């Protein structure tokens, strides 16, 4: 009995040694196959990205991930895939899927997620504050298990997005440069000077001011020369900015802040002064535009329009002309997920209907009654000094100004 038990133990020992040897052999074979690249942990990366459907609430992003399973003989497994999309470091979308099949060989899987509209203003802020340069980045990770092998390979898609919207604004508003004359009137100063103003806009530059997630400042600076003998007001600035016919900024003269000068600050005769206009754009207008940009294969028609205007004792100066403003159109293309050359190209400049009313100019301090200025008073004082004591015209008693009657708008009317 004891002999039989001893034989059984020896038998089990032999089988154990055989099984152990087989197991060690399998491990060695697997190790060799792994080292030779015959089997291994699947690899993964980003194959492609593209835009999907666009509507009022969402923009689809289609991300194709490739998974390469090097294991032969139909040895497959499962993978949990996750990915995220960034623009200028702002997470604009993320997605993934679980239980994705991983057959032998190289295969692809396309996933769909929605861009979050509320992330467009933060992206815009980051984009402009970084000099209108953004990195579009898509990171994908596949948590994969194939038999005894597992891993989390990942891949990255990256592309630089470069725009020059500031340059378009600068070129557009530079069209204000030139010499302009006011409408004719019967206005005469006490010394007989005709009030027929001329305004010279010598240089106009535009740049971004402070940019936050909520608002974007547009700073338009103009050097204005006054060749007249009398002062002129700072002009009112009316304009708009549209992307694909979607207004993203629209302002009246009274809504524009004048920096480093008092509202309605006068420019003395013969002097040249610089004025900076501050326009505030609501970034909440950007998501509808971005949707149109994507829907148009990342193309936008940028339209920059504006008018400078003032009124001087009844003479109207509209720049470039009455009831019209300057306008320039540019073609903007990007290559976030569309393979094309990106850039900003001038299409054309011309005029467009813009009507700046007297009420708007008054709100901006761009209406001047010369009869209420020191210049006008100085002329009156000079007349009084010259006439006081002489007959100077027969009916002048030296104390009254009988050479003319000043009308309600400061217009000198001949009383004879």
Pairwise pLDDT comparison (415 vs 215), residue with the higher score:
215
| pLDDT value at 122 more than 50 | yes
How would DSSP label each residue in 52-112? EEE-SS-EEEEEEEEEEE---TT--EEEEEEEEEEETTEEEEEEEEEEEEE-SEEEEEEEE
Least confident of 146-150, 166-170, 349-353: 146-150
The average pLDDT across 208-230 equals 97
- The per-residue pLDDT for range 391-401, each reduced to its tens digit, is 433 344 433 44
Cβ distance 68 to 90 under 8 Å? no
How would DSSP label each residue in 230-242? S-EEPPEEEEEEE
| Residue 254: partners with Cβ closer than 8 Å, 6 or more residues away | 236, 360, 362, 363, 364
| pLDDT value at 314 more than 70 | yes
Helices (H), 36-175: 120-129, 165-173
The average pLDDT across 222-240 equals 97
| pLDDT value at 24 more than 60 | no
Rounded CA-CA distance 262/279 in Å is: 16
| Residue 348: partners with Cβ closer than 8 Å, 6 or more residues away | 328, 329
The 3-state DSSP class for residue 411 equals coil
Tokens of 166: 């500031």
CA dihedral 201, 206, 210, 213 (to 10 degrees): 130
Mean pLDDT score across all residues of the chain: 84
pLDDT of residue 400: 40
| Residue 384: partners with Cβ closer than 8 Å, 6 or more residues away | 398, 401
- The per-residue pLDDT for range 150-192, each reduced to its tens digit, is 788 888 999 999 999 999 999 999 999 999 999 988 889 998 8
Rounded CA-CA distance 267/324 in Å is: 24
Tokens of 341: 């050359």
The average pLDDT across 343-366 equals 96
pLDDT of residue 130: 97
| pLDDT value at 54 more than 90 | yes
Element containing residue 10 per DSSP (H, E): helix 2-35
Task: Specify which residues 217 forms β-bridges with.
Answer: 280
Q: What is the DSSP letter of 227?
A: -
Cβ distance 327 to 357 under 8 Å? no
- The per-residue pLDDT for range 91-118, each reduced to its tens digit, is 999 988 888 887 777 888 899 999 989 9
| pLDDT value at 416 more than 60 | no
Tokens of 252: 């009246």
In the block, tokens 């509320």 appear at 118
How would DSSP label each residue in 338-387? S-S--EEEEEEEEEEE----HHHHHHHT-EE-GGGSHHHHHHHHHHHHHH
| pLDDT value at 22 more than 60 | no
Question: Phi and psi of 71, rounded to 5°?
Answer: -75, 130
Percentage of the chain exceeding pLDDT 90: 62
Rounded CA-CA distance 64/50 in Å is: 9
Tokens of 236: 């009112």
pLDDT of residue 392: 36
Cβ distance 302 to 168 under 8 Å? yes
pLDDT of residue 7: 61
pLDDT of residue 145: 76
pLDDT band of 383, cuts 50, 70, 90 = low
The average pLDDT across 332-340 equals 96
Q: Is 31 exposed, middle or buried (0-12, 13-18, 19+ CB in 10 A)?
A: exposed
Cβ distance 267 to 297 under 8 Å? no
Give first-to-last CA distance, the chain, whole Å. Answer: 154
The average pLDDT across 69-82 equals 72
Tell me the domains of the chain and their CATH numbers. Answer: 43-162 (2.60.40.10), 165-372 (2.60.40.10)
pLDDT of residue 79: 83
* pTM of the shown model: 0.81
| pLDDT value at 386 more than 80 | no
Element containing residue 291 per DSSP (H, E): helix 286-295
| pLDDT value at 246 more than 90 | yes
The average pLDDT across 219-229 equals 97
| pLDDT value at 406 more than 50 | no
pLDDT band of 354, cuts 50, 70, 90 = very high
Cβ distance 154 to 140 under 8 Å? yes
């Amino acid at each position: 009995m004891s002999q039989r038990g001893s034989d059984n133990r020896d038998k089990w020992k032999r089988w154990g040694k055989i099984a152990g040897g087989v197991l060690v052999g399998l491990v060695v074979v697997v190790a060799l196959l792994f080292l030779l690249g015959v089997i291994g942990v699947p690899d993964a990366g980003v194959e492609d990205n593209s835009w999907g459907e666009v509507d009022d609430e969402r923009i689809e992003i289609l991300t194709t991930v490739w998974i390469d399973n090097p294991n032969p003989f139909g040895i497959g497994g499962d993978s949990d895939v996750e990915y995220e999309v960034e623009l200028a470091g702002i997470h604009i979308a993320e997605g993934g899927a679980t239980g994705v099949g991983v057959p032998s060989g190289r295969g692809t899987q396309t996933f769909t997620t929605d861009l979050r509209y509320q992330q467009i203003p933060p992206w815009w802020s980051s984009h402009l504050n970084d000099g209108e340069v953004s990195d579009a980045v898509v990171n994908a990770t596949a948590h994969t298990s194939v038999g005894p092998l597992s891993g989390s390979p990942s891949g990255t898609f990256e592309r630089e997005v470069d725009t020059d919207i500031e340059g378009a604004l600068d070129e557009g508003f530079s069209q204000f440069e030139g010499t302009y004359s006011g409408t004719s009137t019967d206005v005469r100063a006490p010394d007989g000077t005709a009030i027929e103003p001329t305004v010279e806009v010598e240089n106009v530059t535009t740049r971004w001011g402070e940019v936050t997630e909520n608002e974007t400042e547009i700073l338009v600076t103009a050097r204005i020369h006054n060749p007249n003998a009398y002062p002129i007001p700072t002009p009112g600035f009316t304009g708009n900015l549209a992307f694909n016919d979607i207004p993203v900024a629209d302002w009246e003269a009274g809504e524009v802040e004048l920096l480093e000068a008092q509202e309605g600050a006068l420019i003395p005769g013969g002097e040249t002064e610089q004025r900076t206009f501050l326009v505030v754009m609501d970034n909440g207008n950007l998501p509808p535009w971005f949707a149109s940009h994507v829907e148009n294969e990342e193309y936008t028609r940028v339209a920059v329009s504006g008018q400078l205007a003032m009124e001087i004792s009844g003479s109207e100066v509209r720049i470039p002309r009455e009831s019209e403003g300057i306008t320039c159109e540019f073609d903007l293309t990007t290559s976030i997920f569309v393979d094309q050359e990106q850039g900003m190209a001038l299409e054309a400049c011309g005029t467009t209907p813009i009507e700046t009313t007297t009420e708007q100019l008054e709100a901006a301090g761009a209406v001047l009654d010369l009869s209420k200025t020191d210049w006008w008073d100085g002329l009156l004082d000079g007349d009084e000094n010259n006439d006081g004591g002489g007959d100077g015209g027969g009916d002048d008693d030296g104390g009254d100004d009988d050479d003319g009657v000043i009308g309600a708008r400061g217009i000198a009317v001949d009383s004879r």
